Amino acid sequence: MRFERKLPECAVVIFGANGDLTKRKLMPALYRLAHERRLPPGIAIIGISRTQMSHDDFREKMRESVQEFIEDSDVDPAIWSAFAEGLFYMPGDVGDPKCYSDLAACIKDVEAQRHTSGNVLFYLSTQPSQYAPVACGLGRAGLAKGTGWRRVVIEKPFGHDLASARKLSDDLHEYFAEHEVYRIDHYLGKETVQNILAFRFGNGIFEPLWDRRYIDNIQITGAESIGVEGRGAYYQEAGALRDMIQNHLLQVMATVAMEPSSTFAPNAVRDERAKLLRSIRIMKPEEVKNNAVAGQYGPARIGGQEIPGFRQEKGVAPDAQTDTYAAVTFFVDNWRWAGVPFFIRSGKHMPKRVSEIAIQFKAAPHHVFSNGNANAEAAMPNLLILRIQPEEGISLKFFAKRPGSGMTLRPVSMDFNYGASFGERSPTAYETLLLDAIIGDPTLYTRQDMVEASWTAVEPILDVWSSENHDFPNYPAGTWGPKVSDEMLARYGCEWRKP
């Protein structure tokens, strides 16, 4: 109980080491773990990319990245120096078999220097199209097996539909067993998403209310205030439904709605998430129109600044049919959630960056205090808000009597703020997830059956949308999405919460 989990010595091989993800997320997370003495002392990090660089060049480049992207602190020269001793670099083209034989030799050298016990974590920070070729290259070079454990981490998207997700899985499984494949969904690594489990299953008071009898609807929002930021060409092929809802937000939904697992063992939790995802009602094509809304932002002026529409972004076709906004009404066909709509939305260029879950409870059955007056406040239901970002925390909205004579009710909020309550920095999602991968704890990673279940849930929508010609743009940048999205909720007697 008093001991920290012992982390195994290992080598972390990052493919795409010169890319944005490595610079912005992976290296700052690894350095932060080193700074907090949470990495094994002999850890080695081997970066691979096509760029010709020496070990020292790579170390310098990574130092600059850490300096730029680390949050809340500066780089400590002494800690960086010790950390940098474990950084190695190998130029290589992942399409060239020689890359893998060179890597085998490099891993051997590093193992001799750093005593990594033959354990290797392969992090594929590459284009998704390279996942299968890299896994195949590793397998053919004999790197998928070794004296220690071998694990491969991949980032979303896991395919672009159900068939391609299955194909990717088959390709990975050719050389890596399912328990060796770590599909990262950084949303699940966020403290507040993990805290949903603590909130629900670590307390006795909420779970009895957590069902169709007390909950009217659940709204899950993943809104970004920025546009595609130079990723227009990529985003054009993805869209909000694929980029956010199919993975992050459905995983969040599964966490909110899953049944309690008997233990916190990795597969016990993942089994429950998967079961929930499989319980999502699959829409028939004719149901899509009323239960899913695609949107695309148009140009706008916000605070005096001209914001281009999506079709005016660099690399985007002038007639692009991409959904930069998606909203879907899901239903879960099980005993607990029968009839409760789950409204999920995600969009670019929304008024603010916010990810949250809003659980709207049913209103009191009789308004004792309305006094016959159609008082809007008196009819407002209780809300439980689980804020994922920013200002991570939980708020419960309810009514209280305003001080003074008379019985005037006012909405008030009871707030728990993560930062203020614990007074310490929360680890970033990548810190949590990298550490879990090294330890071998896949609880917060997505399993193939979960990936397939979520693709199964969204594929009917994608099929209908791809067969239609959307009248885009249908919302100006800086607003909460198209009107039809409000109408979708109005059909269920609900309205979107404005976070």
Partner 1 sequence: MTSTIKPEKILKELANLWIEAAAPSESSASGVLRACSMTMLVIADESEDTQGIGETLAQLMKEHPSRAIVIRLKDSSEPWLESRVFAQCWKPFGSRQHICCEQIEITASHASLPDVPAVVLPLVVADLPVVLWCRSGRVTELAGFREIEVLAQKVIFDSASFPDADKALNKLLDAGLPGTRVADLAWGRLTRSRELIAQTVNSDDLIQSLPRANEVRVRARGPKPNVPARYFAAWVTDRLTQAGGSPTLKWDLEEWREPLSLKGVTISAPGFTLSAEVKEMAGSAAVVDIKVEDRVNRVVLCRPSEYELLLQELSIPGRDPIYEAALRGATNI
Query: Mind telling me the catalytic residues?
Result: 248
Torsions phi, psi for 37 (to 5 deg): 55, 40
> Is residue 91 reached through a cis peptide bond, with omega within 30 degrees of 0 on the bond before it?
no
- Cα atoms in the Cβ-side hemisphere of radius 13 Å centred on 272: 19
Binding to partner 1 by residue 420, rule CB under 8 A?
Answer: yes
User: Which residue stretch of 43-51, 96-104, 260-268, 347-355 sits at the interface with partner 1 (rule: CB under 8 A)?
Assistant: 347-355
Distance in angstroms (rounded) separating the CA atoms of residues 492 and 258 = 23
DSSP bridge pairs for 355: 222, 389
According to CB under 8 A, which one of 115, 301, 401, 491 is a site residue for partner 1? 301
State how far the alpha carbon of 41 is from the alpha carbons of 7, 81, 116, 441, in Å.
Answer: 9, 13, 10, 20
Element containing residue 48 per DSSP (H, E): strand 44-49
Torsions phi, psi for 464 (to 5 deg): -65, -45
Nearest CB to partner 1, comparing residues 353 and 425: 353
Q: How far is the CB of 353 from partner 1 (least distance, A)?
A: 7
- Per CB under 8 A, which of residues 251..280 are in contact with partner 1? none
Nearest CB to partner 1, comparing residues 194 and 375: 375
Binding to partner 1 by residue 299, rule CB under 8 A?
Answer: no
State how far the alpha carbon of 353 is from the alpha carbons of 89, 221, 256, 303, in Å.
Answer: 36, 10, 21, 16
Q: How far is the CB of 86 from partner 1 (least distance, A)?
A: 35
Binding to partner 1 by residue 389, rule CB under 8 A?
Answer: no
Binding to partner 1 by residue 397, rule CB under 8 A?
Answer: yes
Number of residues in the chain: 499
- Per CB under 8 A, which of residues 40..69 are in contact with partner 1? none
Residue 361's closest CA among 335, 343, 381, 379?
Answer: 381
Q: Are 141 and 170 in contact (CB under 8 A)?
A: no
SS3 for 342?
Answer: strand
Binding to partner 1 by residue 376, rule CB under 8 A?
Answer: yes
Nearest CB to partner 1, comparing residues 201 and 369: 369
Binding to partner 1 by residue 73, rule CB under 8 A?
Answer: no
Is the Cα dihedral 25, 178, 245, 297 positive or negative? positive
According to CB under 8 A, which one of 82, 282, 363, 412 is a site residue for partner 1? 412
Binding to partner 1 by residue 364, rule CB under 8 A?
Answer: no
Nearest CB to partner 1, comparing residues 112 and 368: 368
Nearest CB to partner 1, comparing residues 287 and 391: 391
Binding to partner 1 by residue 302, rule CB under 8 A?
Answer: yes
DSSP bridge pairs for 393: 387, 417
Binding to partner 1 by residue 300, rule CB under 8 A?
Answer: yes
Binding to partner 1 by residue 483, rule CB under 8 A?
Answer: no
Q: How far is the CB of 398 from partner 1 (least distance, A)?
A: 10
Q: Are 446 and 158 in contact (CB under 8 A)?
A: yes
Binding to partner 1 by residue 497, rule CB under 8 A?
Answer: yes
Q: x/- site string to partner 1, residues 197 to 236, per CB under 8 A?
A: ----------------------------x-----------
Q: How far is the CB of 492 from partner 1 (least distance, A)?
A: 19
Binding to partner 1 by residue 495, rule CB under 8 A?
Answer: no
Distance in angstroms (rounded) separating the CA atoms of residues 408 and 33 = 52
SS3 for 157?
Answer: coil
Nearest CB to partner 1, comparing residues 201 and 398: 398
Q: How far is the CB of 68 from partner 1 (least distance, A)?
A: 18
Burial zone of 375 (CB within 10 Å; 0-12 exposed, 13-18 middle, 19+ buried): middle
Binding to partner 1 by residue 435, rule CB under 8 A?
Answer: no
Q: How far is the CB of 243 from partner 1 (least distance, A)?
A: 21
Distance in angstroms (rounded) separating the CA atoms of residues 282 and 288 = 10
Binding to partner 1 by residue 352, rule CB under 8 A?
Answer: yes
Count of C-beta atoms within a 10 Å radius of residue 179:
13
Residue 42's closest CA among 10, 76, 84?
Answer: 10
Distance in angstroms (rounded) separating the CA atoms of residues 28 and 66 = 5
Q: How far is the CB of 487 from partner 1 (least distance, A)?
A: 15
Binding to partner 1 by residue 348, rule CB under 8 A?
Answer: no
According to CB under 8 A, which one of 377, 468, 487, 495 is a site residue for partner 1? 377
Binding to partner 1 by residue 168, rule CB under 8 A?
Answer: no
* Residues lying near partner 1 in the complex (CB under 8 A): 225, 300-305, 351-353, 370, 373-378, 383, 385, 390-391, 397, 402, 404, 408-413, 420, 478-480, 497-499
